[in-house]
Chain A
Amino acid sequence: MNAHETHNEDDELGDHLSQAINAVRVQPAPEDVGERVLDAAASCTAASLPVRGRMRWYPMVAADLAASLLLAVGLFAFHAVTKDGTIGTATTDDATGGQHDGLLAQQSHEDGDWSRSPLSRVAMEAEWFRSERVALSPDGKLLVRASGEIKMALSDDGRKLLVRASSEIIDLESGTRTPIDLGGAVYQVDNATYSRIGGMQLSPDGSRIALLVQLPHEEGFPSIGEHVIQLVEFPAGRVLCHFPAGESYELRVAFSPDGKQVVAGEPDKQILVHQWIVRRDATTGKP
């Protein structure tokens, strides 16, 4: 930048804006936090899987542990992991979060190295990619994709909302896709304008899907909002029940290892689910 340009820009700033910029700049950044984050990032290796949210760089050292989690994560890729370390990945190719086709691939992790075998290119429907969630069946052959596209219909008085979540099952070997109806539910809402899938997990035995649905926020932002969990029969797609899951942007859903309970909670730096907000029977939805 030359002196002339700087001079002109400074003239345009005005007193209040100039003071405000200075006020932001003089607030000291927390050095210890910065060092911690950057140290973790600098030590990231190919055997580390970046995890979105408040989980940190997550070392893929325990396939069994990874298999119990739905890694509905990543800014540009969404992974699900089976016990043998196979990863199903749905990716988008747009760093800005646009609406593009994606690659469906299978990855494996052997002897510390990642290998990737593209299976098929899947045309993803237009949707907000961050709402994408995937899960693998226990045998690693079927991938369930829940999109953020939720069909909604308001009642005549505008105070009830019918939410129907679209999803599909993708055969990882053949690439064939089978749409499934995750069903719907009626919610009491006001000024419904937005909703999204906040998370999804297959039960350990592969018989049910726990779907975290964020109810619309009155101002249309996918921010803090009320969530419900839908328990859906897999692969039939029949909704077994639904119940409130709490309010948090960081909310996650998970089955207990024995598949008997489903929980929702907020992720922490150390573990996936830090605080149990709800804990329900995984078939009936009862506390």
Chain B
Amino acid sequence: MADWELIVREHGPMAFDTAWRILGHVQDTEDVVQESLMEPFRLHQERTVANWGGLLRHLATCRALDRVRKKRLTVNLEFEPPASASDQADSIAIGRALADRLRSAVAQLPDREASLFSLRYFGEMFNEEIAQTLEISVDAVAVALHKARTKLTKLLDIDHYQHARHKP
């Protein structure tokens, strides 16, 4: 049986970071990471897993996206147009707004594309690693990522255009 503590210590931080990047909210991230560790805890007692890092990030991604979508109804994801970028505080605010816009846009993607995009860019996994974890082909990963990037680019460009119109 695999050493559970070792698994958590070695791969947990990246799963946490992945969930954090998707959610951007401390309490939600805490909940999601805990939820996502339940199944691996059971699995480590029953069978061998080839890539614990990939599995933990995959489960954290799924739960985090699930959580983001549920919160879309209660959280206004429209960003507040920043007044100016003249100092550091404004730069931070602009960065946060941009990050929130991306999180919101990712949540609008189909499940598969949202999940793969999050693993690739938030979980920082290689395409081959994603393919191995999800037991799909590398080509399938590449195609889904291409679709995700195209849709996100459009969504963010539309957002950017609307944002610009709100500027005084």
Interface centre among B70, B73, B128 (most CB of A within 10 A): B73
Tell me, yes or no, whether A112 is within 8 Å of chain B by CB: no
Are B102 and A14 closer than 8 Å at their CB atoms? no
Tell me, yes or no, whether A126 is within 8 Å of chain B by CB: no
- What CA separation (Å) do A177 and B168 show in the bound complex? 66
Tell me, yes or no, whether A76 is within 8 Å of chain B by CB: yes
- Chain A, Cβ-Cβ closest to B124: A25
Annotate B56-75 by CB proximity to A: 1 below 8 A, 0 otherwise: 00010010000001111110
List of A residues within 8 angstroms of B59 by Cβ: 95
Tell me, yes or no, whether B165 is within 8 Å of chain A by CB: no
Are B72 and A221 closer than 8 Å at their CB atoms? yes
Kindly state the interface size class of chain B when it binds its partner: 35 or more
Tell me, yes or no, whether A12 is within 8 Å of chain B by CB: yes
- What's the minimum C-beta distance from A108 to chain B, rounded to whole angstroms? 17
- What CA separation (Å) do A52 and B149 show in the bound complex? 33
Are A40 and B34 closer than 8 Å at their CB atoms? yes
Are A38 and B12 closer than 8 Å at their CB atoms? yes
Annotate A232-249 by CB proximity to B: 1 below 8 A, 0 otherwise: 000000000000000001
List of A residues within 8 angstroms of B27 by Cβ: 54
Are A24 and B103 closer than 8 Å at their CB atoms? yes
Are B95 and A26 closer than 8 Å at their CB atoms? yes
Which residue of B30, B39, B69, B145 contacts A76 across the interface (Cβ within 8 Å)?
B39
- What CA separation (Å) do A221 and B116 show in the bound complex? 23
Please tell me which stretch of A42-50, A132-140, A146-154, A202-210 contacts chain B, meaning at least 4 of its Cβ atoms lie within 8 angstroms of it.
Answer: A42-50
Are A75 and B98 closer than 8 Å at their CB atoms? no
List of A residues within 8 angstroms of B42 by Cβ: 76
Are B74 and A223 closer than 8 Å at their CB atoms? yes
List of A residues within 8 angstroms of B9 by Cβ: 38, 42
Are B16 and A37 closer than 8 Å at their CB atoms? yes
Are B103 and A249 closer than 8 Å at their CB atoms? no
Q: Which 10 A-B pairs have the closest CB atoms?
A: A20-B102, A42-B8, A23-B98, A23-B99, A16-B156, A38-B12, A1-B126, A29-B20, A50-B38, A34-B16
Chain A residues in contact with chain B, CB under 8 A? 1, 5, 9, 12-14, 16-17, 19-21, 23-27, 29-30, 33-34, 36-38, 40-44, 46, 50, 52-54, 56-57, 74-76, 95-96, 217, 219, 221-224, 249
In the complex, 21 of the A-B residue pairs with CB atoms within 8 angstroms, ordered by the A residue number, are A1-B127, A12-B146, A12-B149, A12-B153, A13-B153, A16-B157, A17-B153, A33-B30, A37-B16, A38-B9, A38-B12, A41-B37, A42-B5, A46-B45, A50-B34, A52-B38, A74-B38, A75-B39, A76-B39, A95-B59, A223-B70
